[in-house]
Structure 1
Amino acid sequence: MIQTQGGTWQRRFGDSMMRSLSTPKVMLDRGEGCQVWDVDGKRYLDFLAGIAVNALGHAHPVLVQALTEQASKLIHVSNYFATAPQVELAERLTRISGAGERGRVYFGNSGAEANEAAVKLARLNRGDGSRTRILALQNSFHGRTMGSLALTGKPALREPFEPMMPGVEHIDTTIEALEAALDDTVAALFVEPIKGEAGVVDLPDGYLERARELTTRHGALLILDEIQTGIGRTGSWFAFQQHDLVPDAITVAKGIAGGVPIGALITFGDASDLFEAGQHGSTFGGNPLATAAANAVLGEIEASQLVLNAIVRGDQLRAAVEAIGSPLVGEIRGAGLLIGLGLTQPVAARIAADALEAGLIVNAPNDSSIRLAPPLIVGDDEIAEFTQIMTTVLKGLE
């Protein structure tokens, strides 16, 4: 345990950090690949990847080199100037998303900021002025800033900060509820293709396709929050690409730069014409350091076929959990390397704590779900180690 004149790191954390954050159990010191070590030298297998952020794992040489080279040239110039990494990344994102020549990109610094930009986009889609409603889903999560929090379908998160931004309505995640709510007064529908913070919960079959039909019919924007599902994690660059549709906009962040803070709003078709100069901006958004990092990460994902690896390793991981045969695991949800274990008992926090003690990092987003989101570079050895530890943890709780 690190000791200083001020006491242990836990004490220092508790004395200095805002109380919106509870004191973590572990202080991490370094990482390599799918492994991290704490300040006491204990090693952990990382199957959370900073909540689906560290796409290339830790200390990947491609990312380290890109950051080193860019930092030696330019780190920040403000949005009064363009830089080559910024333009390259915008072009790359319109290409891999399929937005093409009509696509446009806005850069911020986080997923919440990307969703804030998307809220403004929705407000600009007024039609004749009658489109004032924004629809989002119950039990969804879009961020903690006031606009993104208004979209978030978790009352316990919103209530301390009410009143929220007006005009947002949360509907049940059923096609019937969607059909009942969507009309010509709706400016936009916000949807996570897979609800990550809810425990990696899939949408009903055909939901996104029906949402596209209805939003097109009524002139509403279909805005997909791909912050957790994007950048190859679900087995395609973006989860919507596994469906027969094109959205009006997507928001991305997390894995885009492998841990360097960046977020983006990507628009498609006519939605790209809604913003005018001066209507939105960010001092740090799209700075050369973050965009150079993102270009390196996305380039490595392509070069090493890590989108395919997400499919292959995701199937292996599902098979490994099924082979454990624990009665505590009632279902396996999600796609690719975004996997949720639906539990038959409310023991998720205990599983996550026991796994951490055994040297495995997983996440309990709620009492009855375990979230698995390892780096996209995960391989046979890591899955074998995960299986060994998780078998011991689950059997110990049965």
Structure 2
Amino acid sequence: MDEHIVPAVPIYQQQLAAIDRWAEIPPIFEQLKAKARAEGLWNIFMPPSEHDDAFFTSVGLTNVEYAPIAELMGRVSFASEVFNCMAPDTGNFEVLHRYGTPAQKQRFMVPLRDGETRSAFLMTEPAVASSDARNIQTEIRREGDEYVVNGRKWWSSGAGHPHCAFYIVMGKTDPNAAPYHQQSMILVPRNTPGITLVRHLPVFGYDHAPHGHFEVLLENVRVPAENMLLGEGRGFEIAQGRLGPGRIHHTMRNIATMEVALEKTCRRLLSRRAFGKAIAEHSVWEERIARARCEIEMARLLCLKAAHMMDTVGNKEARAEIAMIKIAAPKMAQQIVDDAIQAHGGGGVSDDFGLAELWANTRIVRLTDGPDEVHERQLARMELAKYRERDGATS
């Protein structure tokens, strides 16, 4: 990070400004990826797994070991991809690794593993409240040896990336089945006829090119039946396996955001004077700095506890801890970045200090992989269940 990536940030930005950002990749970026792979710093997000096979063997880091690495990578917006550890590819990789057939792994996972392709996850829809995934209406209909997909998705991150090769699409195969068995997931190559990138969706004005977020229309998109993942009606099962690790990876990077924001705050406050003394010496800022440090340490420890639970008892048993950190970290990060903006005055809301974009990138995490309210509902129900069980046992 210090030797190669941080010094490359201005070069990356300069090169990005000189190209078609939706069609090309800055040359320095590919150079950094080659260096990272040569050093063996590649696909390090994957913990040891019983699913390791000829297609992929994990480097062996646990979630606890990966957490500080992810935090370091989170200090630079594009660093995760340098090490082939970027969303949504990490989640899609885990889906293929855990649930894919040998043929699916060979075609879709191996190029992703090698950093040759990117991917997208198409779940959210504009016409329904997708926080309840049972509402998803995209149709996946079997016709002979093919499935026909019809629907409209949005906030499909990476769907327009120049290296994006395939989408994992969630939709309904049987609307008459039990509620959690109606949905399925299927692999759709990006170049399949019937796919239209309707529009790019900016985040508070930031386009995040070349990755970005897109609205995608699927009209009579035909894919081979063997592209179905795991089987019809298994979509929710796959989603739970996919989203847990992705959620904690986001929070690891949130901690990096907090550290970066607090560093910028402290340096700014020490460099400016108002009303006869350094701004840092005003009590309101002393209080904000102290609170930020406490919250960063609390968030890091909660993140590590969730990672430890995932390592020792599994993702399902760790779902309460994953929910807790997914609720807490983005909110804490959002407040610390907001304070950093305040410390920089008018400069904070400009592009001069990178804080406006940092705030935008932080705010979206409160929606990514499920909004706060869904995780709060899940967590509250788990907490209440403890007391229902205890009261029932004594009555």
Using the size of structure 2 for normalisation, the TM-score is: 0.28
Q: From the two aligned structures, give the one with the greater helix fraction.
A: 2
Q: From the two aligned structures, give the one with the greater strand fraction.
A: 1
